[in-house]
Structure 1
């Protein structure tokens, strides 16, 4: 007999597998970057669900499937990062004038080439044998779940992920690095996804926790975007004087974004801490 927890996990996974299939054509074509984004989100959700509910299933099967989803997520993530770069840089570089405009156009041409190569690599991966095998493995997993003898309480899983996040933030130094805050963002996502699995049992308190976790995740995502953009500019900008002026201006903007996001994180964290206590400890 299938336990309620197992049935709920399988239903959630099924919805995300359907999302992967639905957004695949758009992810391939690149006409709307949102398709690739949603396909990547679905893959990420599948990985997170398998991680959170791993006690319900055969450990080796789960780890093999998560490893395959890691591979697919990396292929999608490379294109997504470049899409985000393009969405941010294109309007700002296109608006420049004179020699700075020409320098900006050189950056955009390089970015266009990088995006084209990344998408070609993604499509090559989707056309190869590994991706169809992943879909087949997921469908088999859903149809004949490799259930273990264990059962788990999904609210307990959410509480565990919340405690891991709280401990990670407690260990942060007074002035955490971008890498340290990025690691916290990963734990925020894990806590949020586990909470979403348990939302039916957690009620309104769980819903408030999920809302605040999403807000904090977005703040830390903005900080990480600024880091990635600054690094790309450092690599892509040539040494000419107009190009260096463009780089200086845009890097200054990214550092302001990072400063703003860092301040917002420390402002919003106590709110998530309170929501976590209400949802998972009270």
Structure 2
């Protein structure tokens, strides 16, 4: 990849790399022995979808419409499994912080999640064996390996921003400006707003990662700063999702579930209180992580990286 390359072909290269990651993790996602395969496959799908969202205008809409729909469905199938992996991981983190005698407090809940995860994994396998995913592998695989496929035609009589160097600098700055516009909202922002901010951070991070070969040597450091904020926001969102699921379980399933005693429900309530308090602390401390990206130092480094274009 280089700065004089067309945006369409540079983006195709990015998507081809992620397509290969997606395919490489399919067998492991089916097997279910290592949760990182589902994670890596889902991230690859997210990166491709982000590439289409940020740079899809360089392709003809009819050429990419079906790909974007199939990618969304694939991400949803993977997400059903991955979400349960995250819930389990966070529950284990909570339990490991308890006295030894209490480390089995959530066993019935974790067993319930394991059962749900296996159901989700089998549904994922059905999806991966189905026509939509097979079409994605075939048609999208052809798209990312065929230079020129689906590219918007250029108007030869008009100035057109079509090279990486023509486009990327303003795109990155717009993504960054969107992020720092949240500054005045941070102190009172609800979790839903912070979740949108996290997604905006993801767009900036991926744009920098996609085009690192064209940017200055400080780019990896900038990416680490964005990841620090994104991870903090991700912890807030994980706590929000856990709260919603645990609350719903207590209201509609837990009390009548034959495998859950009153003591089990009390332990789940204690875990719920822990996640609520943890989320509150994370929201109150976001201002400590925020300067990682909202600073003169970050903007100076970003400027230097973009000057390489």
Counterpart check, 1:209 vs 2:222: yes
Equivalent positions of 1:111-260 (< 5 A) are 111-142=113-144, 143-144=146-147, 145-148=149-152, 149=154, 151-152=162-163, 153-167=167-181, 169-170=182-183, 172=185, 174-237=187-250, 238-239=254-255, 240-260=261-281
Q: Which runs of 5+ in 2 are unaligned?
A: 155-159, 256-260
Counterpart check, 1:266 vs 2:278: no
Q: Within 2, Cα distance between the matches of 1:216 and 1:155?
A: 22
Q: CA deviation at 1:24?
A: 0.3
Deviates more, 1:231-240 or 1:32-41: 231-240
TM, length-normalised to structure 1: 0.87
TM, length-normalised to structure 2: 0.80
Q: Which runs of 5+ in 1 are unaligned?
A: none
Runs of 4+ in 1 over 4 A off after TM superposition: 90-101
Counterpart check, 1:85 vs 2:87: yes
Q: CA deviation at 1:97?
A: 8.3
Count of residue pairs brought into register by the alignment? 279
Asked if the contact 1:162/1:276 (under 8 Å) is kept, the reply is no
Q: CA deviation at 1:222?
A: 1.0
Asked if the contact 2:108/2:264 (under 8 Å) is kept, the reply is no
Q: Alignment partner for residue 55 of structure 2, among 48, 53, 56?
A: 53
Counterpart check, 1:5 vs 2:26: no
Q: CA deviation at 1:52?
A: 1.8
Larger Rg: 2
Asked if the contact 1:230/1:254 (under 8 Å) is kept, the reply is yes
Asked if the contact 2:186/2:286 (under 8 Å) is kept, the reply is no
Mark the CA change 1:268 to 1:125 in structure 2 (over 3 Å): closer, same or farther: same
Kindly report the root-mean-square deviation, in angstroms, between the aligned alpha carbons of the 2 structures.
Answer: 2.7
* Higher helix fraction (1 or 2): 1
